[in-house]
Amino acid sequence: MHRGIARLVLVLVAFAAAGLVGLSPAQAEGQSITAFVSGAEKAPIPGVTVNVTDADGFTGSGQTDAEGLATIEVPSPGKYTATIDVATLPLGVEVKGGPERSINVLQGDKKVLFPLVPVGEGGDSGSGGGIFSSITVDRVLQLILDGIILSLIIALGALGLSLIFGTTGLSNFAHGELLTLGAFTVLVLNTTLGLNLLIAAPIGIVISAALWGWGQNQILWKPLRKRGTGLIAAMIVSIGLAIALRYTILFLFGGSPESYAQFAGQPGIDLGPVFITPKAIYLSIIAIIFLVATVAWLKGSRLGKATRAVSDNPALASASGVNVERVISVVWVLGALLAAYGGVFLGMTQNVVWTMGQFLLLTLFAAVVLGGLGTTSGAIVGSFVVGITVQLSTLIVPTELKTAAALLLMIVLLLIRPQGLLGRAERVG
């Protein structure tokens, strides 16, 4: 018992030591609203004033910088109204959908977009037509594209989560923090140590795979397995580990969103009805390569076949000469590597923030369960179903509720097909 506690403390100390390189402790900085004002092809528009108010009399304002971003700190969670000062807009343009946005700030930083279009093409978000009045073909196509990008990020995390569950039976509620740890490890290398992101990213991903994957398994999970710790107890340990890691990150880095030093702002590429940034294209291609390579490794390599054998029946695999602990170690390294790249992907397309893994955790579990527990292909298919559903749901529900739509879909599909989309039905009793 004492050794297990000591090993858990060592995990936290190791993370603290890595994060303290060049950093001083910081505290959470509360809530904020970040407005992004963009023109044609999503080019950032500087010098535009954004005003934020609420019903209690709060007033704040900011001006967009060279990247088209203006961040306004707000005193507390709640409903706010962000309004563009039209007098500061360039000549000949207006805000698509009107200059005013209603925002519900829950925690941390809330993003709001103000796309600019030529005068006369902006439309009016306040016109009649009900909740479906703003649904257009272009918007649906854009949300599907955004959903595919989100699906790739989810798949990177869900695939590792599924492999860990398949080989150990552990429902790892700290898996979301593997994404966060990967993103922040690269952030330290990039912004603190000054390495270019193209160099910092692969180094940080390898460090994450070794430290947060292999190291975490060796220090914590392997000893617990040897002691015969039950799966329920191990799951509770993972919940506690997730909370400890999450708030350690908050203490070390603060609560404000961070950006990598390179590729933070890019103009979008116009692909007809949709826009996409060059970095999103390259990151998506690399993510697909990671996913395809993992599936090919599992199906074609000797160690991959051993992993599938351990997932099907650990006792029989061990009796057949498979080194089960070695397989589990490899799975942890692979899961952490995929999650780390997913965290970097998310950090480059959005922001690096201490809650990024927490917000994705439920979608990771939804993807794994929806696709079929313990199935590799199921985790990937489930990720695309969840990711696209999350994005398309914003057509009719507030952005803050989009994750609930995916969870509702999971519940409905499991009522129809309890084993998941690609899972095998099993006889009980």
pLDDT surpassing 80 at residue 97: no
CATH of region 31-128, choose from 2.40.160.60, 2.60.40.10, 2.60.120.10, 2.160.10.10: 2.60.40.10
- At a CB cut-off of 8 Å and minimum separation 6, what does 4 contact? 220, 223, 224, 227
Average of per-residue pLDDT across 49-55? 87
CA distance 214 to 332: 6
pLDDT surpassing 70 at residue 23: no
Q: What's residue 425's pLDDT?
A: 57
Predicted confidence band at 108 (pLDDT cuts at 50, 70, 90)? low
Is 79 or 6 the better-scoring residue by pLDDT? 79
Q: What's residue 30's pLDDT?
A: 61
Average of per-residue pLDDT across 25-39? 69
| 339 secondary structure, DSSP code | H
Q: What's residue 78's pLDDT?
A: 79
pTM, full prediction: 0.72
Q: Tell me: the pLDDT tens digits for 57-82?
A: 788 888 888 788 888 888 887 788 89
Residues 302/303/309/313 CA torsion (nearest 10 deg):
150
pLDDT surpassing 60 at residue 10: no
Using alpha carbons, select from 317, 318, 311, 333 the residue that is nearest to residue 423: 311
Containing H/E element for 102?
A: strand 100-105
pLDDT surpassing 50 at residue 156: yes
Residue 415, CA distances (Å) to 220, 389, 403, 410 in order: 36, 18, 19, 9
Is 308 or 25 the better-scoring residue by pLDDT? 308
Q: What's residue 41's pLDDT?
A: 64
Q: What's residue 209's pLDDT?
A: 93
CA distance 81 to 65: 20
Average of per-residue pLDDT across 415-429? 66
Q: Tell me: the pLDDT tens digits for 166-179?
A: 888 888 999 999 99
> For the chain, what is the mean pLDDT?
82
Predicted confidence band at 414 (pLDDT cuts at 50, 70, 90)? confident
HSE value, Cβ hemisphere, 13 Å, CA-based, for 307: 29
- Fold match, 31-128 / 143-416: no
Phi-psi region of 260 (alpha: psi -120 to 50; beta: other; left: phi over 0): beta
For domain 143-416, say whether CATH 1.10.3860 is its number. no
Percentage with pLDDT > 90 across the chain: 31
Domain ranges of the chain: 31-128, 143-416
